[in-house]
Amino acid sequence: MDKELKYIGKRIDRPDAKDKVLGKTKYTGDMSRHGMLYGKLVISKKAHAKVRIDTTKAMAIEGVKAVFTYEDVPKKPYNSNQWYSGSVAEEDELILHETAKHVGDRIALVLGETMEAVEKGRQALIIEYDELPAVIGIEAAKKQSTIVAGETNLCFKKELTCGDVKSGFEKADFIIEDTGSTQKIHHAAIENHVCMAEVDTFGNLIIWSPCQVVFQVQHVTAQALDISYDKIRVVKSYIGGSFGGKGMPILEPICGFAALKTGRPVKIIMDRKDSIAATRTRNASIQRIKTGITKEGKIVAREIEIDFDGGAYLTNSSAIAVAAGKKAFRTYDIESQKYVGSTYYTHTTPGGACRGYGSPQVHAISEININNAAKKIGMDPVDFRIVNAVDPREYNEGAVDQIGMPAIGNARIKDCLIAGKEEFGWKERMESIKDKNTHRFAYGLGVAASAHGNGYHGSFPDYTNVTIQIMPDSRVLVKIGIHDLGCGTVLTMQQIAAEVLDISPDFINVPQADTHLSPYDSAGTQASRVTFVCGGAVKEAAELLKERMIKSYCDAFGCTQDQVWLKDGMIGSQSTEAMNYGSLATLCEDKYETTLKADLEYKSKANPSVYSAVFIEVKVDRYLGMVEIQDILVVQDAGQVINRTLAEGQVQGGAQMSLGMAICEEIIYDKKGNLKTDNFSKYHVINTPSMPLVKTLFIEKGEPLGPFGAKSIGELAAVAPAPALMNAINNPLGTNLTDYPATPERIIEALN
């Protein structure tokens, strides 16, 4: 950077942190309206069944206002995964279903004056299930003996290739094959799904939702209820975590329907069981990996085949298979590679985004396979990765990656591996780790690398609109359709605007997305696009505004542009009197009849890769099968960190999710599709006492087209820790655990 950064890369506290800690923040669950009705879904207890519901008794209960079933709702199918009108995918969901297709499927909604009346009403429903054969798991789906939808359970298939795989394998001295699986994961946001809807005095349906994409909620609701887009106002409310789980609208269409139907505000709240069963999950997968290497350790060919469990509705079935595949072509320089991704329908909770969107799956087994390849030729797994990792590619317009995607940019995976190896003391640990072993405890080391992206550019429309305006009191209003999911998105935008305009971030207000107030944004807060794309937009708009400010100042005071300076909210020049930004705004209005603002429609210019390397030392109990993480270092290629505290938080939180994927988190169904893990007593996340201190190291070598050189962090953070931990467990035990999670039971089984 030419100039020293004032706000970028610094540790700045989140403005909303204090209220959240004190419990003052009003989440959707805390919102109330005069005359508001409470609602709760009734979800199917059977995986596949025709449902009959007798509502008579429930309706007779005092305080029960309405019970809606399939009979009452519009029969207009929609696909909750559609985030804009052009995303074409089959529409196969209704807001309530007659035939339940998974445990957790929406079959009724009870509305009441109080939560208690709703509970009573739910208990008084007489629900009969005519059970139908259920398809549980990918293997069952592939048998095709029962078809979930359409003509085949295979709902999507995609092949991506580069080079010539057949001749690539012919060049190999060794071929290393592995099979493995990853599980369905629940997002475990602390706030369960919730939504409030009301109709305003102008007849607009207002939906308050802790969501990731207000325009997607608007689109899906318009489809589901067959009402006009412009009459649906979606306001993003405070959110208690999403991790992808609140990406697709689940409650919004039905909440809107209930508000319109009853003419009263309606708030629908889920409990944990609903959130696990009735929303979305990370797609489970079964994988086959085949890697060809030379005896010197160069990967010459690779084949990755992944079957995904898409769940009962189409939702993200195609996107997950494609997104996962793309990441296989980004970390290592492999001349010939083939990826085949297939998604199958099953009678389980539909798949959806879950922090990493395919990356956690595609790296899960392949990174174990990479270790096995290194082992085959007796090479250190870190060195093996360094030998094969891609080099940074100087950015040039139109450059493409191996499979025709936008260029990977300033790819710093080698730096991550080299710096991490040094920082972690990998070599020294490798030499002495065995000395720690006892009869009962085994100590091991693991490493893994991973790649992720920066938005939709190259695949889907990826642009956003932004307006930045200077207010008369020198404060700055930034209008952009962003959703802070707890990651600190708002503060990130504040810091970017602050850096350009040279004014404290405290003076910058970035309201969150509201379809009726925020300018249109094409893709929402997802796909690791916000810092890179929306941050890029804010930066460019702020620069435009700064140019206007300088020009206006010059016009007013008759100085030249090179004489003008902006500092700490003041604008001035060598020869003229300084004034604050607010006074300049007033001057512009008075003198030039114009608003001191800048408008911009910003199209993403690139979609570079981001990379991480994770190093772990672990202690495994050979009796209990328990895994204790002794040390973990995460190195991320961040381009440029915007807020150091938030960046570390993202990496540490991501590690918590990923490590949980490796050893304990799993949504389990029995053969009939009954959900066995419907609460946190049975669905195990890594909790605080078991969570190690996650050390972080950022490689900051700048991404040419990112704001101040920044690129994505948060999703990538949830990818490599899992395979690194698996490798660390396999290392001392001599096992080849490739089925996630490596629970104590599975570890003991592998050992005995």
For another protein, which stretch binds (CB under 8 A), given 164-172, 333-341, 508-516, 682-690? Answer: 682-690
CB of 676 to another protein, least distance (A): 13
Q: Per CB under 8 A, which region of 24-32, 237-245, 405-413, 624-632 contacts another protein?
A: 624-632
Q: Which is nearer to another protein, 72 or 621 (CB)?
A: 621
Task: Tell me how far the alpha carbon of residue 652 is from its chain's centroid.
Answer: 15
d(CA 543, CA 335): 42
Among 517, 624, 668, 671, binds another protein (CB under 8 A): 624
The correct pick among 209, 366, 609, 743 for binding another protein (CB under 8 A) is: 743
- Tell me if 674 contacts another protein by CB under 8 A: no
- Pair 609, 451: CB distance under 8 Å: yes
Q: How far is the CB of 692 from another protein (least distance, A)?
A: 12
Instruction: Please tell me whether residue 121 binds another protein under the rule CB under 8 A.
Output: no
Q: Give the interface segment with another protein, choosing from 165-173, 296-304, 528-536, 681-689 (CB under 8 A).
A: 681-689
End-to-end CA separation in angstroms for the chain: 57
Distance CA 111, CA 485 (A): 28
Q: Which stretch binds another protein (CB under 8 A): 116-124, 427-435, 547-555, 594-602?
A: 116-124
Nearer to another protein, 144 or 690 (CB): 690
Helix (H, G, I), strand (E, B) or coil at 271: coil
Q: Which residue has the tokens 């006492």?
A: 689
Q: Is 750 in the site for another protein (CB under 8 A)?
A: no
CA proximity to 197, closest of 251, 248, 239, 245 = 251
By the rule CB under 8 A, 435 interacts with another protein: no
Task: Report how far residue 229's alpha carbon sits from residue 515's, in angstroms, rounded to the nearest whole number.
Answer: 10
Pick between residue 523 and residue 747 the one whose CB is nearest to another protein: 747
C-alpha to C-alpha distances, 526 to 246, 478, 537, nearest whole angstrom: 10, 20, 16
In the complex, minimum distance from the CB of residue 682 to another protein, in angstroms, rounded to a whole number: 9
Helix, strand, or coil (residue 153): coil
Name 734's Cβ contacts closer than 8 Å, sequence gap at least 6: none
Task: Please state the closest distance from residue 292 (CB atom) to another protein, in A.
Answer: 37
- Find the binder of another protein among 104, 245, 358, 625 (CB under 8 A): 625
Determine if the peptide bond prior to 741 is cis (ω within 30°): yes
Which residue in the block uniquely carries the two structure tokens 């009735």? 278
**Closest approach of Cβ 630 to another protein, in Å?**
13
Contacts (Cβ under 8 Å, ≥6 apart) of 206: 197, 198, 199, 200, 233, 234, 235
Q: Quick one: which segment of 85-93, 364-372, 532-540, 620-628 binds another protein (CB under 8 A)? A: 620-628
Which of these ranges, 4-12, 447-455, 645-653, 742-750, lies near another protein under the rule CB under 8 A? 742-750
Buried b (16+ CB within 10 A) or exposed e, 112-130: bbeeebbebbbebbebebe
| Cα–Cα distance, 157 to 155 (Å, whole number) | 7
Specify the residue, 115 or 570, whose C-beta has the smaller distance to another protein.
Answer: 115
Q: Among 628, 668, 670, 734, which residue sits at the site for another protein (rule: CB under 8 A)?
A: 628
Q: How far is the CB of 698 from another protein (least distance, A)?
A: 30
Minimum separation from the CB atom of position 47 to another protein (A): 21
With vertex at residue 71, the alpha carbon angle to CA 70 and CA 74, rounded to the nearest 5 degrees, is: 75
Which of 317/743 has CB closer to another protein? Answer: 743
CA atoms within 13 A on the CB side of 341: 25
* Contact between residue 732 and residue 652 where contact means Cβ atoms under 8 Å apart: no
Task: State the DSSP code for 139.
Answer: H
Window of 135-143, 168-176, 536-544, 744-752 that interacts with another protein by CB under 8 A: 744-752
Distance CA 621, CA 442 (A): 7
Does residue 670 bind another protein (CB under 8 A)?
no
DSSP letter for 89, please. Answer: -
Stretch that binds another protein, among 12-20, 212-220, 685-693, 702-710 (CB under 8 A): 685-693
- Check binding of 119 to another protein (CB under 8 A): yes
Which residues in the 551-610 window bind another protein by CB under 8 A?
A: none
Residue among 36 and 132 whose Cβ is closer to another protein: 36
Q: Which of 405, 564, 686, 697 binds another protein (CB under 8 A)?
A: 686
Query: How far is CA 315 from each of CA 233, 318, 345, rounded to the nearest angstrom?
Result: 23, 8, 10
681 touching another protein, by CB under 8 A? yes
Q: In the structure encoding, which two tokens stand for residue 245, read together?
A: 């789980």
DSSP label of 434: G
Nearer to another protein, 592 or 680 (CB): 680
Rg over alpha carbons for the chain, rounded to the nearest Å, is 27
**CB of 629: closest distance to another protein in angstroms?**
11
Of 479, 503, 501, 475, give the one whose Cα is nearest residue 490: 479
**For another protein, what does the binding mask look like between residues 690 and 719, x meaning CB under 8 A?**
x-----------------------------
Q: Counting every residue, how long is the chain?
A: 752
Binding site residues, another protein, CB under 8 A: 114, 116, 119-120, 123, 440, 621, 623-626, 628, 664, 681, 684, 686-687, 689-690, 743-745, 748-749, 751-752
